[in-house]
Amino acid sequence: MRYLSYFIIVLGLVSCKPSGSGSSSSVASRNLNFDAFGEHWYQGKAEVNTYDLQQYRYGEMRDGEAVLIFVTEDFSREKQVKLDNPQQHEQDAQKVLKLNMTKKFVTGIYPYSMMLSVFTPVYDSIPAVKVSASSQEWCGHTFTQLNREKGIYKAQLLSYFENESDQRLTIDAMPEDNLWTLLRLNPNQVPTGQLKLIPGLLDQRFTHEQLEAEEASVSIIAATDSMGSFAAKDLRVLQVSYNNYPRDLRIFYTADFPYEIAGWEEVRRLPGGEKETSRAVRKAIMMTDYWTKNRNEFEPLRGELQLKSK
């Protein structure tokens, strides 16, 4: 009965916008099925997805692992950080769908560890309010962050590379990384056609291209038999192709809610017409409050997620 009562309360909250949802009379609301959304995303758990990763780096394919963690949380409008006590700051609280993506692989003797975080409002129909990315390897580490302020992004790039150093930029475009969370909210939320995008922050760590807006074409199509490991009747594909930036992205997802990510391909277009295609294919999924599973007794859960590295 205690669980049933809790479940009824949760459904009541998502049937309409709850207090502290971050809605505003000056901001359009998303057109979502909030009942279905709440049943999946307001369980007090995160969706943890693990993937076999084939990542090109330095001209060679590397085997690795990737993890996508999607979870809702209360975010501060003012500080753009997770709120510790949202009930005490309802006017500042904004519900977001958060993505944490990690990639781990080895190049020769030394490892790479990369992480991306995306925070996209659930109720307000606006792009991600914050995106951050970091990359660590034996040469050093870098950090990039985008904060949305007054409809544009204030960018910080902190790097140990001399030609990058520390930068402060202003960019008027939507982050490519925001497409992952928009897709999970509802594919209908994804803008298509010719757009200005900020290329994926983790890819930018590989290319070291200038961090700026790029023209791109965005489309959604059905998966076909020509798509190899991802061919399935119930899969669709979100495609991004840049006009001048040498990158294509294909995200494969289930056609029905909750639009799970089956895998993705990232294509690096090389001079001369050659291509390097990095690929991730999902191997496990788990709904869990992983932050409570931090004792040694829970380590076998990594086996259920088919995680190889620690």
Would you call 124 exposed, middle or buried from its count of C-beta atoms within 10 A (0-12, 13-18, 19+)?
buried
Q: Give percent of the chain with pLDDT exceeding 70.
A: 88
What pLDDT sits at residue 239? 98
Averaged confidence pLDDT in the chain? 90
- Between residues 33 and 19, which one has the greater pLDDT? 33
Q: What is the pLDDT of residue 225?
A: 63
Residues 174-184, mean pLDDT to the nearest whole number: 98
Q: Give the pLDDT band of residue 168 (cuts 50, 70, 90).
A: very high
Average pLDDT over residues 172-189: 97
Residue 66: closest CA among 114, 132, 28: 114
pLDDT at position 226 over 90:
no
Contact 109, 12 (CB under 8 A): no
Confirm whether 139 is domain-assigned: yes
- Residues 6 or more apart whose CB falls under 8 angstroms from that of 8 comprise none
The answer to the question of residue 258 being in a domain is yes
Tokens of 248: 């294509």
Q: What is the pLDDT, as a whole number, of residue 15?
A: 36
The predicted pLDDT at position 86 comes to 87
Q: Is residue 62 part of a domain?
A: yes
Q: Report CA Rg, the chain.
A: 20
Q: Is residue 309 part of a domain?
A: no
* 260 to 70, 130, 200, 301, 308: CA distances (angstroms): 10, 22, 20, 20, 22
State mean pLDDT over 217-227: 84
Residue 39 lies in a domain: yes
Q: How many CB atoms lie within 10 A of CB 216?
A: 25
Identify the domain containing residue 276 by its residue range.
2-304
Q: Are 162 and 141 in contact (CB under 8 A)?
A: no
Residue 30 resides in a domain: yes
**Model pLDDT, residue 89:** 87
Give mean pLDDT, residues 113-132. 97
pLDDT at 232 over 90: no
**Contact (CB, 8 A) for 13 and 42:** yes
Instruction: Please state the domain count of the chain.
Output: 1
pLDDT of residue 64 exceeding 90: yes
pLDDT at 11 over 60: no
Burial class (CB in 10 A: 0-12, 13-18, 19+), 286: middle
What was the pLDDT predicted at 10? 41
- CB-CB contact of 116 with 109 (8 Å): no
Task: Determine, yes or no, domain membership for 12.
Answer: yes
Is the per-residue pLDDT at 276 higher than 50? yes
Evaluate if residue 268 carries a pLDDT over 80. yes
Q: How many CB atoms lie within 10 A of CB 171?
A: 17
Phi, psi of 145 (to 5 degrees): -145, 140
pLDDT at 229 over 90: no
pTM higher than 0.75 for the full model?
Answer: yes
**Please, which pLDDT band fits residue 22 given cuts at 50, 70 and 90?**
very low
Report the chain's terminal Cα–Cα distance, integer Å: 39
Position 310 in a domain: no
